[in-house]
Structure formats: structure tokens, C-alpha cells
Amino acid sequence: MRFRTVTAMTGALALSLVAGCAQGGTAGAGGGTVTYWLWDANQLPAYQACAKDFEKENPGLDVKISQMGWDDYWTKLTASFIAGTQPDVFTDHIQKFGQFADLKVLEPLDDLGIDDSAYQPGLGANWVGEDGHRYGSPKDWDTVALFYNKKLADAAGLTAQQLNDLSWNPKDGGTFEKAIAHLTVDTKGRRGDEPGFDKKHVKVYGLATGGGGDGDGQTQWSNFAASAGWTYTDKKRWGTKYQYDSTTFQSVIKWYFGLAKKGYMAPLTDYSGGASPANMQVAGGKAAAAFDGAWMISTYYGTKGLKVGTAFTPVGPTGKRATMMNGLADSITKNAHNKAGAKKWVKYLASDACQKTVGGYGIVFPATPDGTNTAVAAYRKKGIDVTAFTKPVADKKDFTTFSYPITNYAADVFALMHPAMQAIYGNGKSVSSLDQTTDQINLILDQ
Amino acid sequence: MTVASSSPPSRLPLDGVTEARTKPRTSRAGAREGRGDGRLAAVFVAPAMLGFVVFLLWPTLRGIYLSFTRFNLLTPAEWVGLDNYVRMVHDPIFWDSMKVTVEYVLINIGVQTVSALAIAVLLQRLTQSAVLRGIVLTPYLMSNVVAGIVWLWILDTQLGIGNEIIAGLGLDRVPFLADETWAIPTIALINVWRHVGYTALLLFAGLQAIPNDMYEAAKVDGASEWRMFWRITMPLLRPVLAVVLIMTVIGSFQVFDTVAVATQGGPANATNVLQYYIYGSAFGRFQFGYASAMSVALLVVLSAITFLQYRLTRAGQSDLG
């Protein structure tokens, strides 16, 4: 008798726990609430302003925004797909798009009537999956340029004009390498291009390290590889072969990581994503310049005691400058709790009205041309010239922009390329080792 | 599950089985007598049993099943037979991470056990201070993640205070966590720092069980502290030391959080310990089937090592009394 009571009570307890979990999953998402996740804290106020306008236009709908840092964001998002606690709408990145498409966790957005021509070129098309359905609405874009410490550039006698007019090649590095060498100073005050320079005891590196760059090299080697005429895959989107085994690519990588061997670029050991990303190396006076993305503009210009300038990426062997143009999007999750509300919110996020509101904060370039112009004006008001980021998009004669690689099995590509590039950069492994890595990657893509 | 019985073993032969071949633990008569107690025992064991089945037995069985499938967690698992195991045997990254893990365990357990033993003996032979015992345990009160982050900042090549001190002394900065050669020893030592106090406390408890009169008798005979350590402390501490070793080796093989926080398996897979590789395969690449296969491999390795340790150190027997 007593035994049965205990069993019944245990069972009841277990059941109530399970029921409690299930309830937790839907709490806060029902009714007129749309949940929205983003990772960039700088952008939170801008989207809160958008949400306010949206709620005014749509009485009864309430947007609940959650912001968390980049790493936590993806971990939590992954977990939420599994647990069924996913947000209705989330900020999506091309790097993850392929994987989410594989996992079929995204809702097609074909019925939102998104017109590619309403956005900056290329941004809309990137979010159409291999199956021909749209899974993201263009939100913003960024390019990469050279940030430099003005004081250190002045001390080296390099003008803004000179830094904006650099060129490079994989043989001798061109004027770009000369400038970086000249910006490098060892502990005894000798510059990188002066006799007796001690590459083992460098006080200020010409170029900060952003790590090995994994499979994309967005803020590391991508502009060099692209201006040498190389492309990531055999096709613009949803390619089936990666081309890390190309001799052009490998010659670029050999030269680029060779800058560290010469003492002009900080070694891999100076890089740690958590403690010392490129901007911290510039802020701390350990590096004179760094390639970084437009999303970092406010961070660099907001660093106390640092006077920053920006310059275009150098002209490459193709005679053009290249920079990665990457765009974020808003995606709706397949099992969104409030799909109807989510679609309305995404449509609003993609509208000129919201994108101009966001642009007005001067923290990011919205995807619509009007939104972009509002952002440029807002930056100007803060005294920041963003030409180094916007001109590559407008001027197709001198510049090439290229997209982040979009393929299936993106997570596997990362898992293989991350250590492979570190081994070349940090351990001096031969660039030809990328042949084998490429074979492994392409084998996975062939599945 | 065996049900505890209060009745002593009887020597009644079982049907068809000769007495010489069997030594029944419980006779039928004894079982009948103990049935009332058995029910009560079941009630007491039930909550723990429920936890064991739900959180350990079922996940283990399911993990073994999943190791024979291709599974991404969001769509149904697909049976692939031994494919995951074949892939594992041919996966150089798996073997490399196994090597890295073993290297970590050797450094971690080696340094930790020797230091913990030294601290425990010093605590027992030199001081009675509870404050000192408390201080030894302090790092253990910190979470692994916090310890990892704190050490990551202290040891950062350019900005860390540890390297500032090294540079201040006129020496070259050491990329503790960013260099292939240094990374694993550094992580092993960070974890020694965190766990040595706890391990020392366990050994200290074992030392307390050694009767003091043995030391007194040895002293009368003129034995030195060094001789007493080798002739009294070590032999009598052996069962406790063995259990502590088994526990710490298992824990050491499962190193994950410090790596996840400090190096993320890098540079160039130099700290890609097995648990981290399993995690990355499962939650980064959604290859839950392959990750399960590697987990099963880890389970087999750990079971074998534990069994060997148990046998070699005779952990179940004591030399005392």
C-alpha cells in the first residue's frame, strides 16, 4: 500500500516536471508577442526604436527583443531549435545559413514579396536557398577596410593619401608591404624596413593579427585572395567544390602569413579571440593597423585616446581592389510560435521605414539604398568618414566586392579549415597542406 | 539491483546444483523472511534508481544506439550500421585528439597526484590549522569556467599580467595558451591548480585513518620522516590513493570546460581533447551519430583503464589490520 503511494507520487512528480518543461517552451511567445533575437549590442537601441514604430502600426502585436553575445547567440539558438524554444525571428548570418538550410529549421519567406532590386546589389540573392526558396530578408551589409592609428602613421611619415593608394602582389608585397614594414617598430626603435631591425623583439607591429581566418579569411586574407582573382568555390552560390588547393590562393596565403615571419604582422600567438582581437591590439598600441569590418567602426572610433583613420584595401594583381561584402538577414524559424506576427515583423524590418530608422543611429549600413544614405549621414554627423567602406559598393570600376562563401556543410568546412590555417600561420606548415584539406572538404560536399 | 538481506548466507544446496560449485548469497528461506524488508528497501532505493535509469542508464543505451545511426537531432535517426566506427578508425583527428587527451591526463594526473600527496602529508604531519586546510581548498570553490577565463587573461601573450611580469624580468614573453607546445601543459597545470586542494583533502582523510601509534612506534625505533613516509604512509594509504586515482583519471579524461574557454581546441588542434572534439562534432556539426560513436569509444577506454587501475592497485583490499 505504502509502496504504491510512493510510486504514484514519484510518477506524478515526474509528470509535473515534464509538463512544466513543455509549458516553459511556449511561455511568452503566444498571443500577440513576436520574439526576436540579435547579437550586436550596439544595434539593440536601433531595433528597439523600430519595434516601437511597428507596435504603433500593429496594435496588439508586441515585439520582445533579446540580445546576447556572438558565441552565446549561436549556442543558444542551436539549443533552442532542439528544445523547441526558438525565437520567432532571428538575425541570421551567411556563415550559418547553409547549415540551417541543411537542418530545415527555417521558414520560407517567398510570400513576403521581397524584391532584390530594393536592396544593395547581391544582398537579396544570397538568401535564396539551393531549393530556390527565400529564407532571409536583407537587413544590413558590411565591407572590410584598413583601420590605422593616425598618430603612428604620422610618426612613420605616411599620409592618408598614401595609405589610400597602396597596391600589393604576392611576390614582393608591393607598396602595401613597404608601408606595413615601415609602420613596424622594434624595441630599440628601428623600423621594419631599416637595417638591424629585430623581428624577434617588436614593439609595434605594422599589422594586427586576426587569427588564421578559418575558411573565409573575412578580415584577414580574403581581400588579397580576391584581388588576385581567386574565388572560394566553383560557383557564386551553392558551389560544390572549394578552391583552397589553387596555386593562386596558396601563393597569397604564403605571402600573407609570411608577413608574420618577417615580423611585420603580429604572430598567431598574439591573437586570442576573447582577450586580444585585432581592435584591442590597435587600441593597446601593439599594432599600427588592422583589417576589420564596418561593424567595428563605432568600436574603433569610440576607443579613448585613439585617433583612427581608415583606408581602402590595396590594389591587387587584377588591378582592382577587393573587399568582402557581407550582409545579414532576418529569418523566421520553421516552428515559430507566432508565424503570422513574425512575418509582419520581418516585412517591417525589411522596409525602408525601419531601415532608415536603424540607419539614423549610425552604427551599421542598412540594406536599402535610402537606409545606407541615412547611415552615411549619421556617421558624418559623428565626424566619421566611411568612404573606405561605401565606395567599394558604389564604384564597380576600381573595386570588386565578393560574398561570404555560401555552400552546404559550412560547419564542416569551418571545422577543417580552422585548424588547417592555424597550422600554416602558427606552426609554419606548408601551404600545400591545404591540398589535402580541400580534398577532405570536397569529399564531404560530394555526399 | 540486489536487494539487501539481513539474514546470513545459509548452506542449503539448490536444486540440481552441487554445494561445492555454488555459494548462494541468499537462501530461499532467507528471502522469504526478508521480503518485508525488501519492499521497504525498494521504496528507499526507488528515487535513486529513477535518477539512475532516467539520467544514466537510458541515455547510455540511447547513446550506444545512436552511435549506429546518422542523426542530426532535428530529423529522425537513420541506421548506418558500423559506418561511424569505421570512420572513427580512419579519422586522423580522432586519433590525434586521443593522443592530446592522453598527454593531458599524464601531465595533469602526474603533477596533481604528487602535489596533492605532498600537501596532504604536510597537512597531517606539520599543522592542525583548519584555516590552512581551508585555504588549500579555495581554488576548488571556483567554477572551471571562471578559472579558465581568469588564467586566459593572466597568461595572454600581449596583455596578460603574467606575461607583463615575465617581460618585466627581461625575459621573452611566453605564449602559454597560444603555442602548440605550451597549450596542453598549461591547461593541465591550470586544472591541477584548481583540483589539487580537493585531491589533497581526500588523501588527507585517508591519512587520518592510519593509526598514529604506528608512527610513534617507528619514531621509537628511530625512523626518519622520509622512511616513515615510504614504509608506513604509502602502503597504508594505497587503497585510498587508488580510489582517488581512479576518480581523478576518469575526471581528467573528461576535460572540457577549460579547453572550451581558454583555447577552443586550438592552436591547430593542439588542445583538441576528445570531449571537445565530441562536443564540436555534435553541437557544431550536428553529427550526433558520429559523436555518439566517439563517446562509446571513450566509455570503453575509461572502463578498461578503471578496471586495470583497480586490479593493479588492489584498491579493494587494505593492508591495515
pLDDT tens figures, B78-133? 999 999 999 999 999 999 999 999 999 999 999 999 999 999 998 888 877 888 88
ipTM above 0.85, yes or no: no
Q: What is the pLDDT of residue B320?
A: 64
A200 burial level (CB within 10 Å; 0-12, 13-18, 19+) = exposed
Asked if residues A310 and A388 have their Cβ atoms less than 8 Å apart, the reply is yes
Q: Measured between CB atoms, which of A6, A14, A286 is closest to B43? A: A6
Q: What is the pLDDT of residue B124?
A: 85
Q: Which domain holds residue A268?
A: 144-324+409-445
Coil, strand or helix at B80: coil
The residue ranges of chain A whose pLDDT is under 70 are: 1-31, 272-275
Q: What is the pLDDT of residue B173?
A: 87
pLDDT score of B28 more than 80: no
CA closest to B76 among chain A residues: A103
**Residues A261 and A354 occupy one common structural domain:** no
Please provide the size of chain B in residues. 321
Contacts of B285 in chain A (CB under 8 A): 411-412, 415
- Asked whether the beta carbons of residue A268 and residue B159 sit closer than 8 angstroms, the reply is no
Q: Between B296 and A25, name the one with better pLDDT.
A: B296
CA closest to A280 among chain B residues: B159
Coil, strand or helix at A167: strand
Contacts of A426 in chain B (CB under 8 A): 178-180, 267-268
- Asked whether the beta carbons of residue B178 and residue A271 sit closer than 8 angstroms, the reply is yes
Q: Which residues pair with A204 in a beta bridge?
A: A185
How close A396 comes to chain B (CA, Å)? 37
DSSP letter (8 states) at residue A347: H
How far is A210 from A203, CA to CA, in rounded Å? 18
**Residues A201 and A319 occupy one common structural domain:** yes
Domain-located, residue A398: no
pLDDT score of B284 more than 60: yes
CA closest to B37 among chain A residues: A3
Q: What is the pLDDT of residue B178?
A: 87
- Asked whether the beta carbons of residue B285 and residue A412 sit closer than 8 angstroms, the reply is yes
Domain-located, residue A395: no
Domain-located, residue A285: yes
**Residues A52 and A102 occupy one common structural domain:** yes
Asked if residues A321 and A314 have their Cβ atoms less than 8 Å apart, the reply is yes
- Asked whether the beta carbons of residue B158 and residue A426 sit closer than 8 angstroms, the reply is no
Structural element, H or E, at residue A402: strand A399-402
Domain-located, residue A320: yes
**Residues A384 and A295 occupy one common structural domain:** no
pLDDT band at B30 (very low <50, low <70, confident <90, very high): low
Contacts of A82 in chain B (CB under 8 A): 73-74
Q: What is the pLDDT of residue A315?
A: 97
The two most distant CA atoms of chain B are separated, in Å, by: 83
Query: CATH no. for residue A129?
Result: 3.40.190.10
Q: What is the pLDDT of residue A99?
A: 85
- Asked whether the beta carbons of residue A284 and residue B158 sit closer than 8 angstroms, the reply is yes
Q: What separation, in Å, do the N-terminal and C-terminal C-alpha atoms of chain A show? A: 59
State how many domains chain A has.
Answer: 2
- Asked whether the beta carbons of residue B178 and residue A275 sit closer than 8 angstroms, the reply is no
**Given CB atoms, is A11 within the 8 Å cutoff of chain B?**
no
* CB–CB contacts below 8 A, A to B: 96
Domain-located, residue A394: no
**Residues A133 and A56 occupy one common structural domain:** yes
pLDDT band at B33 (very low <50, low <70, confident <90, very high): low
CATH of B85-313, one of 3.30.365.10, 1.25.40.10, 3.30.450.20, 1.10.3720.10: 1.10.3720.10
Q: Which residues 72-91 of A have a C-beta within 8 angstroms of B?
A: 75, 78, 81-82
Q: What is the pLDDT of residue B22?
A: 45
Global confidence as pTM? 0.82
Q: Could you state, in order of their start, the residue ranges of all structural domains in chain B?
A: 12-66, 85-313
Mean pLDDT for chain B overall: 86
**Residues A148 and A137 occupy one common structural domain:** no
Q: What is the pLDDT of residue B146?
A: 93
